[in-house]
Amino acid sequence: PLCGLSLDRPRLMGILNVTPDSFSDGGDHATREAAVAQAHALVAQGAEILDIGGESTRPGATEVPVAQEIARVVPVVAALRAEGLRVPLSIDTRKSAVARAALAEGADMINDVSALSFDPELAGVVAEAGVPLCLMHARGTPADMQRAPRYDDVVAQVQDALSARIEAAVSMGIARERLLVDPGIGFGKDLQHNLALLRGLPLFHGLGLPLLLGVSRKRFIGTLSGAEAPKGRMPGSVAVALLAAQQGVHVLRVHDVEETRQALSLLRAVMGWDE
């Protein structure tokens, strides 16, 4: 189980960016009040986990100071727990101090886009708390990751890199059964790399861990569909989410929860997954 949720069917992780500059919804929920309201809206739409982030990791983004990231994220976590919201809360952060502060207010897991390579102290915080951790593959930093990324075999190389990070996490005291992996679509990958990873999703089950995928509203969807504005990429995002669900992805990280939930309900019925 992940935060008490069985993984016998795809679970929906709603994205809650408490940032002024995220690529799709930067500024929409930058205040505590707006973020709390959006959290309740996402849960009402069917989100089973919320992923709260206070630092944009879009291509070209710069690092946010720790104190500022804490000031964005932690009051939202505290407010949601004070209101009695029981949905698991994931914290999208690379930083140990942010993770520690959010976990102290009732957060349930950590989603690290750097797979423990940014802040070496994050592993100790996660290990001590005994919470789940998602290790995502990225090449470079958000500031430079999209500058002509190159691979000989992107699927094999991402698999190998994630395998190495899994072993590093375990060596730092994190129980293997607490780990998830994410191939990191769009993080140091071009269009063809992203497509190859999506075709190769079943191979990542060889790592023996739950698989999380975040493709919602990303640039490659706009490139392929002609939807220039990120908020106009919902149909393409749902299409990729359904593809991922058919390939056994356990957690779908999405902006458009209601639309994805409805599409998944039809997929389950047609495929007979609930029988």
The pLDDT of 104-124, averaged and rounded, is 97
Here the tokens at position 61 are: 């983004």
Closest CA to 260 of 226, 231, 235, 228: 235
pLDDT of 92 > 90? The answer is yes
pLDDT tens per residue, range 141-186: 776 667 778 999 999 999 999 999 999 999 999 999 999 999 999 9
DSSP letter for each residue of the chain:
-BTTB--SS-EEEEEEE--S--TTTTTTT-SHHHHHHHHHHHHHHT-SEEEEESS--STTPPPPPHHHHHHHHHHHHHHHHHTT--S-EEEE-S-HHHHHHHHHTT--EEEETTTTSS-TTHHHHHHHHT--EEEE--SS-TTTTTSS---SSHHHHHHHHHHHHHHHHHHTT--GGGEEEE--TTSS--HHHHHHHHHTGGGGGGG-S-BEEE-TT-HHHHHHH---SGGG-HHHHHHHHHHHHHTT-SEEEES-HHHHHHHHHHHHHHHTTT-
Neighbours of 17 (CB within 10 A): 28
Q: What is the end-to-end Cα distance of the chain in Å, rounded?
A: 21
Report if pTM > 0.85: yes
d(CA 233, CA 24): 10
Mean pLDDT of 122-139: 97
On whether the CB atoms of residues 98 and 91 are closer than 8 A, the answer is yes
Distance of CA 7 to the CA centre of its chain: 16
- Between CA 80 and CA 57 the distance in angstroms is 24
Instruction: Note the pLDDT tens digit of each residue in 31-85.
Output: 889 999 999 999 999 999 999 999 987 777 778 999 999 999 999 999 999 999 9
The CA distance from 1 to 111, in Å, is: 16
d(CA 98, CA 13): 20
Region 200-229 average pLDDT: 97
Catalytic residues: 218, 253
Percent of the chain with pLDDT over 70: 95
In 3D space, the residue among 91, 105, 103 whose CA is nearest the CA of residue 51 turns out to be 91
**89: which 2 tokens?**
């809360």
Choose among 213, 49, 253, 44: nearest CA to 131: 49
pLDDT at residue 143, rounded to an integer: 65
Residues 6 or more apart whose CB falls under 8 angstroms from that of 189 comprise 139, 149, 151, 154, 197
